[in-house]
């Protein structure tokens, strides 16, 4: 068996999320079905993170073990041919050590959340960004974001379905950048809780709208109470942008 690391881009719109589900299509299922068709063996594909329904991947990292003799380039080409018409593409493929694990070896994960801040509805970006009609103050959002940086108990920003043992995480980056009517929020950490990025973005949007002061983000964090969450941002604007090892 040879272990291959994959870098995967996917459009989350038609999927129930990364993880295989009994009730609908998943990115994992699309990849495992393609790998099975190529190798004739059942193949398990493990990812750096399990994204929710409607969340996208620009550079998800994953791995799989393949018995058949095949070069990384041929495996990438064959997967891309078999993945059609699913909006999933393998951008890179390499051989890695047998103990390299996309999830457990991962030292850092990053996300980007895209907001289109305008009155008009989205056209080609529908499902690929969060359209917010109220004018957002990105300076206030950045001030609110500063309260979340560092090591904290993120219970307020954690889904009730989160399976992590501890609510403590260390947030290394949470930046807010406006370019015209687009606002990008970039987050990086060793790992995130379930819904953490969308929950943080939702609170920052409350600040941007002027409904919350920046300090209230810190108060919500300190409360360690999910009921204090302002708003959970929709999955549409969330992109998994990378994992480091």
245 is in an annotated binding site: no
Report the distance separating Cα 57 and Cα 86, nearest Å: 13
In the complex, the smallest distance separating the C-beta of residue 143 from its own copies, rounded to whole angstroms, is: 29
- CB of 118 or CB of 228, closer to its own copies: 118
CA-closest candidate to residue 204, choices 126, 127, 121, 115: 115
98 is an active site residue: no
- CB of 36 or CB of 119, closer to its own copies: 119
Of the chain, the end-to-end C-alpha distance in Å amounts to: 22
In the complex, the smallest distance separating the C-beta of residue 34 from its own copies, rounded to whole angstroms, is: 12
Binding site for its own copies (CB under 8 A): 9-11, 13, 56, 76-77, 80, 83-84, 87-91, 118-124, 126, 128
Q: Is the bond into 75 cis (omega within 30 degrees of 0)?
A: no
Catalytic site residue from 11, 52, 65, 172: 52
In the complex, the smallest distance separating the C-beta of residue 93 from its own copies, rounded to whole angstroms, is: 10
| Binding-site residue positions for substrate | 111
Q: Which residues participate in catalysis according to the annotation?
A: 52
| Binding-site residue positions | 111
């Amino acid at each position: 068996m040879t272990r291959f690391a994959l870098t995967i881009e996917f459009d989350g719109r038609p999927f129930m999320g990364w993880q295989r589900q009994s009730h609908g299509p998943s990115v994992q299922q699309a990849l495992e079905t393609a790998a099975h068709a190529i190798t004739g063996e059942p193949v398990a594909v493990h990812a750096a993170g399990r994204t929710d329904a409607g969340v996208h991947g620009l550079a998800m990292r994953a791995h799989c073990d393949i018995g058949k003799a095949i070069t990384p380039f041929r495996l990438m080409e064959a997967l891309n041919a078999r993945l059609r018409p699913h909006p999933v593409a393998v951008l890179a493929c390499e051989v890695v050590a047998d103990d390299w694990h996309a999830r457990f070896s991962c030292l850092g994960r990053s996300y980007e959340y895209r907001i289109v801040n305008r009155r008009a509805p989205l056209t080609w970006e529908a499902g690929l960004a969060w359209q917010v009609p109220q004018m957002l103050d990105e300076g206030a959002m950045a001030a609110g974001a500063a309260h979340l940086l560092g090591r904290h108990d993120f219970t307020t920003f954690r889904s009730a379905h989160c399976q992590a043992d501890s609510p403590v995480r260390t947030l290394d980056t949470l930046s807010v950048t406006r370019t015209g009517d687009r606002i990008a929020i970039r987050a990086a950490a060793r790992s995130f809780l379930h819904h953490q990025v969308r929950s943080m973005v939702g609170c920052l949007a409350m600040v941007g709208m002027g409904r919350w002061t920046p300090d209230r983000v810190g108060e919500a964090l300190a409360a360690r109470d999910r009921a204090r969450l302002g708003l959970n941002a929709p999955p549409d604007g969330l992109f998994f942008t990378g994992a480091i090892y």
